[in-house]
Amino acid sequence: MTTFSDLGLPEILLRALSSEGYETPTSIQAQAIPHLLQGRDLLGIAQTGTGKTAAFALPILERFAAERRRPAPFTARALVLAPTRELAAQIADSFRAYGQFLRPSVGVIVGGVSHRPQIDMLARGLDVLVATPGRLLDHIASGRFKPGFTEVLVLDEADHMLDLGFIVPIRQIVAKLPKNRQTLLFSATMPKEIAGLAQDMLNAPAQVSVTPVATTAERVDQHVYLVDGGAKRDILIELMSDAAISRAIVFTRTKRGADRVAQHLDAAGVGAEAIHGNKSQSQRIRALDSFRKGRTRVLVATDIAARGIDVDGVTHVVNFELPEVPEAYVHRIGRTARGGASGRAISLCDNGERPLLRQIEKLTRQSIPSTDRRSADQRHDDAQPARRVNRGNGGGGNGHGAARNAQKHPRREGPHREGQRPSGQRPANGQKRRAHGGGSNRPQASRPQG
């Protein structure tokens, strides 16, 4: 088996990895690190949870160990661009953890906070700067960050950057960087805009790919409740009576939805907090902190707010609403079952969301076991031929028995027919994919960049 020292990492980093409790490299680390240590560019297809942060952070730190020098004022030796404030902060924390014996200077530049401390920090020069694109461009425009001295550029979660409309700012930043830099681009998926960006930015890159979307999905025990739209909140409360759900992330599509669901849970005595782009930075940090420490049992989040959250021990992911982009489903359920652990994902799907469910099943190449909890008329409306679905625990109980029951009787249906949505239901949202930035409304999309 490959070890970290086989990969050619120096002692000072091996010690830090061992103090972090890392024993063996993950697949992306084993594949990427040797190329990166040789100075090659890299295209990494990997989603969060695969260990990709260490895959890029360790070779960058090795560079600092090999050549220690003080970065010049208003420059950074390595620049990491990330889509959200949370992810930026986590990446910086990872650099500090892996570099604990090297003590590199690591700074974070994000929007939504005042400029002054950031300028003071930039003035000292940094080994690593982790930034969201919008605020970084402000500092470049005002001459407080000089991009021309950057040795390494990392673009993390490029597909998420695309969803947030950051491709133009990224291109503007990249155009100002030295041509002879080393460049790394990580993305969970490869839409054509990202492939184009990679083509323009990378020079003969090594390509590594891990965890095709289907494999994350296989690690997570998944279940769908087919429900009436109006019954979702009650069913959610019912699910929460299961003590096995000790730390859950509930996903909603909109920020208002997240607030409403969190209030509803709280009113029912289930400790919950919402986290999304309308919350201030300090509110988000507080909410995350109490979730991490187990003081809040449920975090209600939109896709965008949740993307950079790295919390261990999430037992359950609940999709209160299905995401409009099927890839987002895989990202969501990957919040549980991290680091090889198992986890459960429960989705509430009303009739209007059935096309989204089909897209998810197609992408993950699986049929998700389901329990039909719809009222008789909603089932009748469905107008599907002879289906055999399980009524579960008959609408009572805690919903967990229903899930167990249904595992034995996965949904068997005839072919889904498009266009059979019952009247009065909202349309399938497949066509609106980008309009919602993958799970939230627009203003939020621009917030993370500040």
Q: Which residues bind ligand AMP (CB under 6 A)?
A: 22, 25-26, 29, 48-54, 310, 338-339
Least distance between ligand AMP and beta carbon 353 (Å): 29
Q: Which is nearer to ligand AMP, 49 or 343 (CB)?
A: 49
Q: Which is nearer to ligand AMP, 316 or 338 (CB)?
A: 338
Residue 303's Cβ-count burial label (10 Å; 0-12, 13-18, 19+) is buried
CA 440 to chain centre: 14
Whose tokens are 């003969």? That residue is 204
Q: Which is nearer to ligand AMP, 217 or 240 (CB)?
A: 217
Least distance between ligand AMP and beta carbon 286 (Å): 21
Residue 431's Cβ-count burial label (10 Å; 0-12, 13-18, 19+) is exposed
CA distance 110 to 116: 12
Sequence-distant (6+) residues with CB within 8 A of 210 are 26, 27, 28, 31, 44, 45, 46, 50
Q: Which is nearer to ligand AMP, 24 or 280 (CB)?
A: 24
Least distance between ligand AMP and beta carbon 173 (Å): 22
Nearest to 401 by CA among 386, 390, 389: 390
DSSP bridge partners of 222: 345
Q: Which is nearer to ligand AMP, 50 or 393 (CB)?
A: 50
CA distance 429 to 47: 24
Least distance between ligand AMP and beta carbon 22 (Å): 4
Q: Which is nearer to ligand AMP, 53 or 393 (CB)?
A: 53
Least distance between ligand AMP and beta carbon 339 (Å): 5
Q: Which helix (H) or strand (E) holds 298?
A: strand 298-301
Nearest to 324 by CA among 436, 442, 421: 436
Least distance between ligand AMP and beta carbon 124 (Å): 27
Q: Which is nearer to ligand AMP, 277 or 308 (CB)?
A: 308
Whose tokens are 């970290």? That residue is 4
- CA torsion 357→359→365→369, rounded to 10°? 10
Q: Which is nearer to ligand AMP, 58 or 136 (CB)?
A: 58
Positive or negative torsion for Cα 261, 266, 272, 278: positive
The dihedrals phi and psi of 80, each to the nearest 5 degrees, come to: -115, 125
Least distance between ligand AMP and beta carbon 449 (Å): 21
Residue 133: count other Cβ atoms within 10 Å of its Cβ: 27
Least distance between ligand AMP and beta carbon 29 (Å): 6
Distances (CA, A) of 130 to 137, 259, 297, 397: 13, 30, 30, 48
Q: Which is nearer to ligand AMP, 157 or 361 (CB)?
A: 157
Q: Which is nearer to ligand AMP, 223 or 307 (CB)?
A: 307
SS3 (DSSP) at 162? helix
Residue 409: count other Cβ atoms within 10 Å of its Cβ: 14
DSSP state of 216: H
Least distance between ligand AMP and beta carbon 302 (Å): 19
Distances (CA, A) of 30 to 4, 39, 268, 444: 8, 15, 47, 36
Q: Which is nearer to ligand AMP, 339 or 430 (CB)?
A: 339
Q: Which is nearer to ligand AMP, 80 or 406 (CB)?
A: 80
Sequence-distant (6+) residues with CB within 8 A of 156 are 52, 53, 56, 80, 81, 82, 83, 87, 91, 186
Least distance between ligand AMP and beta carbon 318 (Å): 21
Least distance between ligand AMP and beta carbon 27 (Å): 10
Least distance between ligand AMP and beta carbon 134 (Å): 23
